[in-house]
Amino acid sequence: MPLSPRHRAMLLEIGVRTWAPPTPGARAETPAAAGAAAPPPAAPPRAARPLPPAAGGGERSHAPAGPWQVQAPRLLYPGADPAQAPLALGAGWFIVTDILPEGEPLAADADRLLANMLAALQLHRHPRVALCGVGPAPAAGGGTSEPAAALAQQVAAFAPAVVLVMGRSAVRAALARSEPLGKLRGARWEIAGVPAVVTFDACFLLRNPGTKAAAWADLCLARALAGHGAAERPAGPVP
Domains of the chain: 46-136+143-231 (3.40.470)
The DSSP H or E segment spanning 13 is helix 5-13
Which amino acid would we find at residue 139?
Answer: A
CB burial readout 76-95, b (16+ within 10 A) else e: bbeebeeeebbeebbbbbbb
Is the overall model pTM greater than 0.85, yes or no? Answer: no
Please report the pLDDT score of residue 223 as a whole number.
Answer: 96
Q: List pLDDT tens digits, range 16-53.
A: 655 454 445 544 444 334 444 444 444 556 655 433 33
Q: What is the dihedral of CA 114, 116, 122, 128, to 10 degrees?
A: 30
Residues 6 or more apart in contact with residue 171 via CB below 8 angstroms: 165, 177, 181, 184, 198
Please report the pLDDT score of residue 79 as a whole number.
Answer: 97
Residues of the chain with pLDDT under 70: 1-66, 140-141, 229-239
Please report the pLDDT score of residue 128 as a whole number.
Answer: 98
By CB atoms closer than 10 A (0-12, 13-18, 19+), residue 75 is: middle
CB burial readout 15-26, b (16+ within 10 A) else e: bbeeeeeeeeee
Q: List pLDDT tens digits, range 121-152.
A: 999 999 999 999 999 888 766 789 999 999 99
Q: Side-chain half-sphere of 99: how many Cα atoms within 13 Å? A: 24
In three-state secondary structure terms, 84 is: helix
- Give the relative orientation of helices 212-231 and 5-13 as an angle to the nearest 10 degrees: 120
CA–CA gap between residue 132 and residue 25 (Å, rounded): 47
